[in-house]
Every structure is written in structure tokens, then in C-alpha cells.
Amino acid sequence: AQSVTQLGSHVSVSEGALVLLRCNYSSSVPPYLFWYVQYPNQGLQLLLKYTSAATLVKGINGFEAEFKKSETSFHLTKPSAHMSDAAEYFCAVTLDTGFQKLVFGTGTRLLVSP
Amino acid sequence: SQTIHQWPATLVQPVGSPLSLECTVEGTSNPNLYWYRQAAGRGLQLLFYSVGIGQISSEVPQNLSASRPQDRQFILSSKKLLLSDSGFYLCAWSVLGGSTEAFFGQGTRLTVV
């Protein structure tokens, strides 16, 4: 069965610094991978997704992620953090089974300090 | 455009009371529908999913049930709430196909007291 592991329940960065949120997946077949963002007491919003096209995926709000099969990773990055990026981020995986059933990681809370 | 509505936003219920959370989707037909629960430090857990009216699949045994009386309506219920049912409940929908993302409602914060 597929799964994702997010290393670090909390990540702290300064405004303007690089953001790196880690996600490793486990899947017996090529997966589809997603990053979602959640602001307090709100639903999840899609940041970006990997669907076996380009391995470097660009998303909203300046985020991007690179699919590395050899490392089974799909880390999320942003060159320069903004205060508004403070939120919880979830990595998720699903398989092309014709039905989309997401398996989520436990989430990483991003803290941005001035 | 498609929208998803979930209500109520917050709910405080006593132990042993019933529960009904509603979710409706607009602007699409025959969506896949999902109920997730989010507990602190545990990510999101899929509770139920549905591929059509009256078709419900349960992912984990629990005190909750789900129903889909109409194509774009998904209801999460319980006859008697437990303290452990507290959490943040999210409804979501997607179209058929693994490459498409799920779209989430704003969630319901349920506190069982």
C-alpha cells in the first residue's frame, strides 16, 4: 500500500529564507503526488501536483516540488518565505486506480518569523 | 465553477447525542465524495468515500456512518457520539481518475463534551 512520510512536524524559517518541506513516498507503482496547504480552521487548498509529466512541478504562491524516483521523494520548496506562508502543509499520494483515494502525511507546520 | 459547501463550521455536542454533518457540491455531476477526519498530529484519515448514490465504502471501523441520498450530497452521521469522535471533519470531492486532485470544504470542528 502506498504511504507518505513527512519529516519534521514543525519547520521554522525567517522571512526571506528558503523553505524546504520534506516528503518521501512509498508506492509499488508510479504514484500521483500532491502538496496541500491548510490555514487555521480551514479546508485544504492544492499547491501543486505531480502526474508523471515534468518532474519539476511549479505551483501557486511561488512553491515548487521535484519528483525524484531514485530517492522516492517529493520535497516542497520556495526560494523566499513570506509571513503569509505560515500554515500547515500536507503531502499526499494516490495511485491511478481510476478512483482517487488520497493518503496523507501527518503534516508539517511552517512557522515564519520576521 | 464547482463549489463545495460543508456545515456547520463548528459544533459542540454532548457525549451520547446524535450527529449529522452535511456536505453538498455544486457545478459538477457524479462526483466522488469523501469524508476525512483530522486529529492533531495525525494528518488526515479517510473515513468514507462514495462513487455514486447509495454507494458508501468505509475505510475504518468506527462509531460513524455516511450516506449519499442525492448525487451531490454526502452526510456523516452518528447515533451516539463518543469523546473520541472529536476532531476536524473535512468533506471533499473529485472527478474520476487518480491524476485529479480532491477539492475540500472548509471543515467542521466537532467537540464532544
Partner-chain contact A100 B104, CB within 8 Å? no
Partner-chain contact A100 B44, CB within 8 Å? no
Best of B36, B42, B44, B88 to substitute, by most chain A Cβ atoms within 10 angstroms, is B44
A86-100 mean pLDDT: 80
Neighbours of A78 (CB within 10 A): 21
**pLDDT one-digit tens code per residue, B30-40:** 899 999 999 87
**pLDDT one-digit tens code per residue, A12-47:** 999 999 999 999 998 877 788 999 999 988 889 999
Neighbours of A7 (CB within 10 A): 13
As a whole-number percent, the residues of chain A with pLDDT over 70 amount to 95
Partner-chain contact A94 B107, CB within 8 Å? no
Residue in A4, A8, A3 with CA at minimum distance from that of residue A108: A8
A61 CA: distance to closest CA in chain B (Å): 18
Q: What is the CA radius of gyration of chain A?
A: 14
> In sequence order, what are the residues at sequence separation of 6 or more whose Cβ sits closer than 8 angstroms to the Cβ of residue B34?
A101, A102, B46, B48, B49, B50, B74, B91, B92, B93, B94, B102
- The answer to whether B50 and B40 are in contact (CB under 8 A) is no
**pLDDT one-digit tens code per residue, B8-44:** 999 999 999 999 999 999 998 889 999 999 987 678 8
